[in-house]
Amino acid sequence: MIKLEPRGQHSKLMAWLSPVLAGVLTLVSGATLFALLGQDPIEALHTLLILPVADLYGVSELFVKAAPILLCAIGLSVVFKAKVWNIGAEGQLLMGGLIGSACALQLIDAEGGWVLPVVLLSGMFGGALWAALAAWLKTHFNANEILTTIMLNYIALNLLIWAVHGPLKDPEGFNFPESAMFSDSALLPTLIEGTRVHYGMLFALLALVAVWVLLSRSFLGFQIKVLGLDARAARLAGFREKRLTWIALLISGALAGLAGVGEVTGPLGQLVPQISPGYGYAAIIVAFLGRLHPVGILLAGLLMALIYMGGEMAQINLGLPIALTGLFQGMLLFYLLACDVLINFRIRIPALAKPVAETIAIQEETAR
């Protein structure tokens, strides 16, 4: 029989070790799964995790995939610090893509350097607007943000599908549910010639630094953290809870919106129904896995992007279903939560442990 015994304090070491442990356990489970499916586990894991980044182009694609995930996850790290459970990064991303696309299509004949910033800002506005709805519902009506943000995700998805079938559909597009291609001045330039790595990755890195400064070097960030740790203490200290909730949600929404508009103006170049293969949900895992810390999030975000690419690679090379990606994401999060128990508890196996009296006797002996 295994027993859990409270440590009495947080283990800093375990807090950082647990994501690594979760990763290892996911790999072991993955290998077992591949073996059960009749694949060579080593070759399958190689296909999943090494092959996608075996060449420079692969590495560049990793950054393309990581950009939206990172932007969403960084935003989530701010709200999660405030213990506001924004599960709506996916919907905020979609709204960013939708509003940004509407703006880009309005400006389809415009030229000049101002077009792209306007489109990007409108995308951030779209994401922030969607998060603002959740903030309003939470602060004014006390509505649970987990449920409202999830509902807003479904609404955003349906609005997006409606828009590409209706008002934003390309009139010359043979009735395909797609918008027209954006004009060149509304497209995000690539960072590195010959690849698809676009400014979104740069935005993500800037956001990482900005959020790090916000959370660890500013009074506002301090207030957000206090609110998350102990809402009563924050109230007693005179911090304005509702204002902080609004700010945290707006930051997170705007960053998710930027992720969305970055996708439509970057790799896609137009509005399509599938902007995101669940980046907003994956970002939740990334935020937890990265311990809400910028460096952790960067590493976890790259890992998540790799899992997305690996899933595609496994589909092409091994004929495995693309849903493998979601399965690995889910396993990773589950193992993380299970391993996190070691932060506050240590495992004791009473059958193996020496009785307390004996231990004390030994200690006294050695003390003498």
* Footprint on this chain of other proteins (rule: CB under 8 A): 4, 6, 85, 87, 137, 141-144, 146-148, 150-152, 154-155, 158-159, 161-162, 165-166, 281, 284-285, 288, 321-331, 333-334, 336-338, 340-341, 345
Give the tokens for residue 194: 């010959």
In the beta sheet, which residues pair with residue 198? 190
Burial of 195 (0-12, 13-18, 19+ CB in 10 A): middle
Considering the complex, state which of residue 58 and residue 277 has its C-beta at the smaller distance from other proteins: 277
Give the tokens for residue 151: 């509902």
For residue 222, the minimal CB distance to other proteins (Å) is 23
For residue 294, the minimal CB distance to other proteins (Å) is 20
Distance CA 324, CA 329 (A): 9
Considering the complex, state which of residue 129 and residue 150 has its C-beta at the smaller distance from other proteins: 150
- State the CB neighbour count (10 A cutoff) for residue 214: 20
Considering the complex, state which of residue 179 and residue 265 has its C-beta at the smaller distance from other proteins: 179
Considering the complex, state which of residue 119 and residue 282 has its C-beta at the smaller distance from other proteins: 282
Considering the complex, state which of residue 129 and residue 146 has its C-beta at the smaller distance from other proteins: 146
The secondary structure of residue 355, as a DSSP letter, is P
| Nearest residue to 11 (alpha-carbon basis) of 349, 353, 350, 341 | 341
Distance CA 228, CA 292 (A): 12
Distance of CA 148 to the CA centre of its chain: 19
For residue 9, the minimal CB distance to other proteins (Å) is 14
For residue 345, the minimal CB distance to other proteins (Å) is 8
Sequence-ordered list of residues with C-beta below 8 angstroms from that of 251, at least 6 positions apart, any chain = 75, 78, 79, 211, 214
Considering the complex, state which of residue 32 and residue 158 has its C-beta at the smaller distance from other proteins: 158
- State the CB neighbour count (10 A cutoff) for residue 273: 13
Rounded alpha-carbon distances, angstroms, from residue 368 to 218, 349, 359, 362: 52, 29, 14, 10
Three-state DSSP class for residue 346:
strand
The secondary structure of residue 191, as a DSSP letter, is S
Considering the complex, state which of residue 138 and residue 198 has its C-beta at the smaller distance from other proteins: 138
321: left (phi over 0), alpha (psi -120 to 50) or beta: beta
For residue 150, the minimal CB distance to other proteins (Å) is 5
Considering the complex, state which of residue 69 and residue 285 has its C-beta at the smaller distance from other proteins: 285
For residue 321, the minimal CB distance to other proteins (Å) is 3
Q: What angle do CA 151, 155, 158 make, to 5 degrees?
A: 140
For residue 216, the minimal CB distance to other proteins (Å) is 23
For residue 316, the minimal CB distance to other proteins (Å) is 15
